[in-house]
Structure 1
Amino acid sequence: MIYKRILLLLFTVCLYFPTISAEGGNPVSDSVVLSYTGKAVVIESFKQNSDLYLQPVAASLLTAQEVKDFNLVNIKEITSLTPNLFIPDYGSKMTSPVYIRGIGSHRNAPSVGLYVDGVPYFDRSAFDFNISDIDRVEVLRGPQGTIYGRNTMGGIINVFTKSPFKYAGTNVSLSAGNYNNYSGGVSHYGNVDNKIGYALSGNYMHSGGYFQNTTVGKKADPIDAVSMRTRLSWRIRPRLSAHLILAYEYSDQNGYPYRVLHKETGEVDPVNYNEPSFFRRNMSTNGLNIEYVTDAYKLSSQSSFQFFNGTQGLDQDFSPKDLYFVDFYQRQQMYSQEFNVKSLKEDSRYHWQFGLFGFHQNYYQTNDTDNRTTGGHTIQSAHNPTTGFAAYHQSTVNDLFIRNLSLILGVRYDRERAKLTMDRIKPAETEPTVYGKASFSQFTPKGSLQYSFSKDGMAYFSVSRGYKTGGFNNTAETEEDRIFDPEHSWSYEVGAKSGFWGKLLFVDMSLFYINWNDQQISQTKPSGQGFVIKNAGKSVSKGVELSVMLNPVKNVSLQAAYGYTSAKYKDHKDYNAKTEATTVYDGNYLPMVPRHTLSVAANYVLHIPWVWLDNITFNAQYAGAGKLYWTDKNDYTQPYYGQYNGKISFAKDNFSIGLWAKNITGKEYISYYFSTSGGHYVQKGKPFTFGVNLNVKF
């Protein structure tokens, strides 16, 4: 049934072309002059060319208009909108597991990289942030280690904010919805003589929560969050420019609406635990980009600093009984510096790029487990400073042997050193301080052959090495579990992209095969409480991705994105020292990896020559994912599920009002599952929601 549904929906496909509305600023132009040569080009990223569709990589793009039309609020909501991308809702901002093509992690360092305006986000506790007033989101699938480095085995998510050289004006937005959801934002973009640009934005969001905690008689998951962003751009000289970005976000969230699951019957209890659980986070992210551009090359410097601290309180038994409560605190300071130089001569057969990257991540955490049945506390603290260095290069040779055939070769060397200082205090006992040191290094090469068979068409084949660094288990109870090793992969990909009949149709298809060793797996500790990271033997992921975009008639656009992934363990065994038993998972599917992801969207703009209205925009979307397994044992699954979303917008001059709805059919599904020695727990997906957006531009 699922295959028939997917095939039927894939025949209904289309291209979405953005329409100008009252939100997001007044577009100054589609491009901006960036270089001394006076050429107008679309603003590009720090390392990659501006047009993703001309690169030998599987990539998807979400524009600012699509973020608005799909009513996306945070980075988690882009799940399934691009093929084989899945971000489960963990229950709070504390962690955001990201999976691409079966590669991901939900308990240790991410396997998919995140960059915002060139600033790297190293920790998953920083991933969930407000994406209002962004210019675009790019998703690059497959290993990106040659250019981006550590922890990008699955791919990269690049987020870009709006440039004051591209947008101008003041924007005010208000939103209200059921479940006491309210938000408001204001932003201003301007520039002086097209030399100094400035952007200021602020946003406040309140959610009353979706799920009732029956024990305390209140919602389990309300949240308040405020975010601010400042961007300053200065064209110091015709060849020299600088961009400063400052961002801050604070959130106060009651979360974790977990329910007890009775696996034998499949029944799920209401949320009913006695101690409210929460996560509060302060996060500041800052970046300074300096660019020097000549006719032959561009030299760039990216300096970054990110700070966050988070406090978690968790009723760990998730029951009306007063058994366990955990207080967790984490703090990170991350500094990074990158230099990049790349050639710019478009008429040259040879293009090159060199880069140097360095970082220091200072991470601290403390964990206080309160056993309220005995009155004893177990307090554990860990300090993990990590320093790393990398050098990389990429060369492109065009017209290799025959016209339109290109060869791309790249290599990167990463080296980092990590330290551990860990203290644990148990009831009536203080353990000796544990010290640890570890170093990791790796070469990550990549090679691609690309053939361009038309102005907007190409085919490619690529081979790339993936690498994810090792680290420490801060909660390990035995010395052999203290350190886990890096994981490695080889990824093979063949793909083709082509436009047809001008802008009428665009097709993007890729097939991939990933073989990786020493996969980092989360396993329950021998004590039955908590988890540690261990290395499995071998795993394989293979699949296909298809994006089709169509603009059949004026003002009508359609698009579809489908991904299929089959990710299995080839060699994975779990030895339990407490029971002296070994569980074999060979042949099982990897957890949290949906077999199918599917997104279909349609957009229609109706222009009305009325005095009080300019146009009405209709947007409809379907997004689905599944089947997926939640555990290594494959003993609990989430079948394929889909949600229908929609929005109708009315616009007049600088004012617009939008009526939106999500999960219109009220589809029930499990968004997260986990188990401990105390039982099995699930979190349900969000129910049917609706609301209204108001946008005014000055």
Structure 2
Amino acid sequence: MFNEILLLSLSLNATPDTPVDTTTYKKVDLGEVVVTDYKQNRRNLTMTAMSRVDSRLLQDQQVVSIKELSAVVPNFFMPDYGSRANTPVYIRGIGAKSKGSAVGFYVDGVPHYESSAFDIDLSDIAAIDVLRGPQGTLYGRNAIAGIINVYTHNPLEYQNTRVKVGYGKYNDVTAQMSNYTKLNPHFGFSVAGSYHHNDGMFYNAYLKDKADDIDEGEGRIGLYWKPTDRWYLRLNSTLSYSDQGGYPYAPYNVERNRLEDINYNRYSLFRRLISSTGFNARYTNDRISFNSQSCFQYIKSHQAIDQDFTIEDKSFVENNYHERMYSQEFTLKSNNDSRYQWITGLFGMTMQVDQFIQNNAFSAGTATPTDNVNPKSSLAFYHQSSYNIWRGLSATAGVRFDYEHSKSDYHREKLNLGTGASSPMLDFHSTANFRQFTPKFTLQYLTTHRFLYYASITRGYKPGGFNESAKEANERSYDPEYSWNYEVGARTVFLNGRLTAEFDIFYIDWRDMQATYTILGQGNLITNAAHANSKGAELAVAYRPLKGLLFNLNYGYTYATYLDYKKSEKQDYTGNRLPMVPSHTLAANGSYTLEPAGCLDRVTISAGMTGLGRIYWADDNVVSQNFYATVNAKVSLTKGIVTWDFWGKNLTDTRYMAYGFKSSKGNYAQKGKPLTFGTSVSVNF
């Protein structure tokens, strides 16, 4: 875990040939303050619980996807959902299982509102920041649980050309290429591409084939220009495509406490195309800083899933999703050493979603095609002021006003597959408007000994919306949800920066919670589930006893329950634990780098253990996964421009459930990934 106030000491993780991207944050002496991005003031008088994962940790721990940050970041859980069709994210017990994430996701400032766009390739990533707790005051919609900021390298600060190929168990093939070139002090460009193939890890007994094979590729380009010392312009564009088998779900036998074999009759898949482009213009002088972020994202996906997960043709669903999103944000902030710091901004977004869903019951000879057009637009204004009251004591107050307009044109039919005759089932044309003020209050104190203490109160908000699939008219929409987050914490530095520690406790009051449940033949439906809360603590320790040796320990505890949730007369979940929320997250990592090492220029040995649990999979708390741990390790050997890696994951071959759910026909779960290992060779020019 890497916190903004501790970045200087922890930045020692960076290898000499991979300097920290200074466009992401400004690294200064710990006696001063660290700026993490353009939404933080120069003196950073507002504390935020944040974990930073830099490129060194990503490489040492062989982290290739955001999902693998589960437990590495305290109280962070991103289950392996079975495909990239949806990527649930839970921070401190707050999250969303289906559409409409509770966590904001940004790549170089480009927002990703559709959760199927979260699971991205992490090759050549400079750093990842995870901000825990509501961040709606500055970031807006979908930030009720926190924010994930992903940063790529800036060729004006980092120059390198790398070619990498790898091979692992299950015929896992990877190929990556990247180039970061600075043509002159004012202009640079980057080009990166990657390809990944895996035969699949899980076997479908009925089809006698793997259920989860995947082929995917991604390309990135970037242009960086500093026409003057005050102006900075950046254009980034990413195109990615994945074609995967998915949903290796199997029935869970409650009586025998056992997960059965994967056994369904139709191959299921998910194909996804994403194009994301962002243009950033930044102006800075001695008094103010101005930032403009323009974004466009295009998503097209096709999902086909045997939703009954049996050898019968009860329910086979096809889902075509098409999204176009435009957003524009202007941010103006102070840029001086005054005791008063401020930041203000204006945000606008428009999104058009066209979706076609057809549930086929081939054995019955019927289908239910559904068209849903869902345009959205939003406008927001925000302001935050911070004041240094006395020496290290400062206070912050912020507020954001959000307005969102949503529309749904919904048409559902019943189709006879034999005759082609159809009849209408459900039609509605609805609009909804959501308005909300989101305040934030923070008090922090930084001592002369570099100890920091803080307390904060933050309002969280997530707008309502329309369900993508509904059977009855009363299921077509859901209301906004709200939360209040109360938090106190401390950050400390010892032994001249070689030992850092941080600790915080939190309490979240969550009202009108948007709960998700699964119905066979319909899919996931969202409804408001009254009242819940989440409380817990987080601890992170980093220790560098000697040069080249680093230890990290991260622990999170969350206790999240329904305070009031009566789904029906027979289903009362009041007092139950919230599903998809690990009670404990634990990560212990260590790495040792020796340079030179005999005939080699560098040898790095790293190992890590991550543990999660207990996790309940559904509101009834019948099926759960006890606490489990997996062990990973990696050895890197470098000679000149060549590095040879050997890695292994889940070395103990721990068996666990990575994801589970309850539908109207029973309980299902997906096994966790078994023991895997592989090797790769990279050349850095």
The bucket for the TM-score relative to the shorter chain is over 0.9
Distance 1:55 1:691, change over 3 A: farther
Choose the corresponding residue for 1:107, options 87, 98, 107: 98
The equivalent residue for 1:18 is: 13
In 1, Cα distance between the equivalents of 2:632 and 2:544?
21
Distance in 2 (CA, whole Å) between partners of 1:16 and 1:241 is 24
Alignment of 1:18-97 (within 5 A): 18-20=13-15, 26-27=17-18, 31=22, 44-48=36-40, 55-97=46-88
1:664 aligns with 2:656: no
Corresponding residue for residue 9 of structure 1: none
Q: Of the candidates 561, 567, 576, which is equivalent to residue 574 of structure 1? A: 567
**Is residue 2:152 matched to residue 1:161?**
yes
Is 1:497 aligned to 2:487, yes or no? no
What amino acid is aligned across from residue 185 of structure 2 in structure 1?
N
Deviations 1:597-639 (A, max 9, x none): 00000111123353x3112111010000000111111111100
Q: How far off its partner does 1:479 sit?
A: 2.5
Match of 1:459 in 2: 453
Please point out which of 286, 289, 293 is paired with 1:302: 293
Task: Mark the CA change 1:217 to 1:477 in structure 2 (over 3 Å): closer, same or farther.
Answer: closer
Corresponding residue number in structure 2 for 1:422: 410
Query: Paired residue for 2:116?
Result: 125
Q: Structure 1 residues 671 and 220 mapped into 2: Cα distance closer, same or farther (>3 Å)?
A: same
Partners in 2 of 1:285 and 1:458 — Cα distance?
A: 38
| In structure 1, distance between residues paired with 2:127 and 2:12 | 14
Equivalent-residue separation in structure 2 for 1:381 and 1:633 (angstroms) = 32
Equivalence for 1:595? 583
Alignment check: 8 A CA contact 2:42 2:335 kept = no
Aligned to 1:532: 525
> Post-superposition shift, 1:302?
0.2
Aligned counterparts of 1:382 and 1:93: Cα–Cα separation in 2: 21
In structure 2, the partner of 1:393 is: 383
Tell me the amino acid that sits aligned with residue 534 of structure 1.
T
Counterpart in 2 of 1:623? 610
CA distance in 1, matches of 2:41, 2:594: 35
Give, in whole Å, the separation in 2 of the partners of 1:265 and 1:548.
41
Q: Are residue 240 (structure 1) and residue 231 (structure 2) matched?
A: yes
Counterpart Cα distance in 2 of 1:216 and 1:307:
34
- State percent identity of aligned pairs: 41
**Alignment partner, residue 692 of structure 1:** 679
> Could you say which residue in structure 2 is the equivalent of 1:543?
536
Matched, 1:325 2:316: yes
Are 1:33 and 1:41, in contact at CA under 8 Å, matched by a contact in 2?
no
1:122-167 deviation line (CA, Å, top 9, x unaligned):
0111111101111100000000000001111111010000000121
Q: Of residues 678, 692, 695 in structure 1, which corresponds to 2:665?
A: 678
The 10-residue stretch of structure 1 (277-286 or 479-488) with the greater mean CA deviation from structure 2:
479-488
What secondary structure, in the 3-state scheme, does the structure 1 residue paired with 2:57 have? helix
TM, length-normalised to structure 1: 0.92
**Cα offset for 1:572?**
0.5
Q: 2:401 aligns with which of 397, 410, 413?
A: 413
Partner of 2:552: 559
For 1:634-645, list aligned pairs within 5 A.
Answer: 634-645=621-632
CA distance, structure 1, for counterparts of residue 308 and residue 18 of structure 2: 52
Q: Secondary structure at the match of 2:308?
A: coil
Distance 1:696 1:263 in 2: 51
The Cα RMSD (Å) is 2.0
Contact 1:15 1:558 (8 Å CA) reproduced: no
Displacement of 1:357 in angstroms is: 0.2
The yes-or-no answer on 1:251 pairing with 2:246 is no
Written as runs of structure 1 = structure 2, the 5 A alignment for 1:197-208 is 197-208=188-199
Query: 1:42 offset after TM fit, Å?
Result: 8.4
Q: In structure 2, give the amino acid aligned to 1:123.
A: E
Q: Which amino acid aligns with 1:228?
A: G
Contact 2:41-2:334 within 8 A present in 1 as well? no
1:442 pairs with 436, 443, 467, which one?
Answer: 436
Give the one of 358, 369, 377 matched to 2:348. 358
Instruction: Work out whether residues 528 and 676 of structure 1, in 8 Å CA contact, stay in contact via their aligned partners in 2.
Output: no
Q: 2-side partners of 1:414 and 1:30: how far apart?
A: 32
Q: Give the corresponding residue for 2:592.
A: 604
Residue equivalent to 1:222: 213
SS in 2 for 1:83: coil
How much does 1:582 deviate? 3.3
What amino acid sits opposite 1:382 in the alignment? N
Aligned to 1:519: 513
Q: How many residues align?
A: 666
Looking at structure 1, the residues matched to 684 and 43 of structure 2 have their Cα atoms a distance apart, in angstroms, of: 29
Alignment-mate amino acid for residue 542 of structure 1: K
CA distance change for structure 1 residues 569 and 609 in 2, over 3 Å: closer, same or farther? closer
Amino acid in structure 2 at the alignment position of 1:626 = G
Q: 1:374 — aligned with what?
A: 364
Give the deviation of 1:474 after TM superposition: 2.7
CA contact (8 A) 2:100 2:113 kept: yes
Please say if residues 397 and 407 of structure 1, whose CA atoms lie closer than 8 Å, have aligned partners that are also in contact. yes
1:470 aligns with 2:461: no
Preserved CA contact (<8 Å) 2:426 2:471: no
Opposite residue 329 of structure 1, the aligned amino acid is N
Deviation at 1:356, TM superposition (A): 0.2
Query: Aligned equivalents of 2:107 and 2:21: distance in 1?
Result: 21
Report the Cα offset of residue 446 of structure 1. 0.2
Structure 1 242/528 Cα, relative in aligned 2: closer, same or farther at 3 Å? closer
The CA distance in 1 between the partners of 2:392 and 2:597, in whole Å, is 48
Q: Which runs of 5+ in 2 are unaligned?
A: 1-8, 27-31, 416-421
The 1:157–1:33 alpha-carbon spacing in structure 2 relative to 1, beyond 3 Å, is: closer
Q: Is the 8 A contact 1:324 1:371 kept in 2?
A: yes
- TM-score, normalisation: structure 2: 0.94
Contact 2:566–2:572 at 8 Å: present in 1 too? yes
Q: Closer, same or farther in 2 for the Cα pair 1:420/1:72, shift >3 Å?
A: same
Matched, 1:264 2:258: no
Amino acid at match of 1:532: L
1:176 aligns with 2:167: yes
CA-CA distance at 1:73 after TM superposition: 1.0
What's the offset of the Cα at 1:456? 3.3
Query: Which of 463, 473, 477 is 1:479 aligned to?
Result: 473
Q: Distance in 2 between matches of 1:623 and 1:503?
A: 25
Cα 1:476–1:529 change in 2 (3 A) is closer
Q: Which amino acid aligns with 1:304?
A: C
AA matched with 2:263: N
Q: Distance in 2 between matches of 1:194 and 1:148?
A: 32
- The CA deviation at 1:91 is 0.3
Secondary structure in structure 1 of the residue aligned to 2:79? coil
User: 1:46 touches 1:118 (CA, 8 Å); kept in 2?
Assistant: no
SS of residue paired to 1:319? coil
Aligned equivalents of 1:671, 1:50: Cα separation in 2: 41
Contact 1:360 1:388 in 2 (8 A): yes
Separation in 2 of the partners of 1:48 and 1:695? 36
CA distance in 1, matches of 2:429, 2:586: 47
Once the 2 structures are TM-superposed, how far is the Cα of residue 476 of structure 1 from its aligned partner? 2.0
In 2, Cα distance between equivalents of 1:593 and 1:51:
35
Query: Would the alpha carbon gap of residues 304 and 539 (structure 1) be closer, same or farther in structure 2, given more than 3 Å must change?
Result: same
C-alpha deviation, 1:574, in angstroms: 0.6
CA contact (8 A) 2:535 2:558 kept: yes
